[in-house]
Amino acid sequence: ELPHHIEPLHDYIDGTLQLRSLMEAKLKLMTPEQFERVLHPIFEEDELTLILAGAVLGGIAGYGQQWLDERDRASKAADDVKATDVAWAAAERDLPQPSPLSPTEEPSSTSV
């Protein structure tokens, strides 16, 4: 039965004490260091969870970056191989082709 009576009291107390406007004014007067000291105990309880979550997210981001780098590297290597193949094909096309030897004919050897 008591919880039903508490809710109306919240609005009455907030209006009477004007806590919201008082807290806003006091928080605006704080330096960043003072504000941090107010917030730190709130997050201190979950600090380990926040650190672990940050580590996991950082690991995922790092793995994703490595995967993207490896994919780009492999793509560039494949492009280099294709360019080399094209260059070799062009060079082979421009070189004079040796005449085919008959099965009984042996290549001449030159001795120095």
Domain boundaries of the chain, sorted by first residue: 9-45, 46-84
Question: Range with the lowest mean pLDDT among 32-36, 41-45, 57-61, 64-68?
Answer: 41-45
Helix and strand totals (H; E) in the chain: 4, 0
pLDDT band at 110 (very low <50, low <70, confident <90, very high): low
Extract the tokens encoding 97.
């082709």
Start-to-end CA distance of the chain, whole Å, equals: 115
Selection from 11-15, 31-35, 87-91 with the highest mean pLDDT = 31-35
Concatenating the DSSP letter of every residue in 58-100 gives HHHHHHHHHHHHHHHHHHHHHHHHHHHHHHHHHHHHHSPPPPP
Whether 103 has a pLDDT exceeding 60, the answer reads no
* pLDDT, position 101: 62
- Give the percent of the chain with pLDDT over 90: 29
Q: Please state the pTM of the whole predicted model.
A: 0.41
- In sequence order, the 6+-apart residues with CB closer than 8 A to the CB of 90 are none
Q: Under the phi-then-psi rule, with left for phi > 0, alpha for psi from -120 to 50, and beta for the rest, what region is 46?
A: alpha
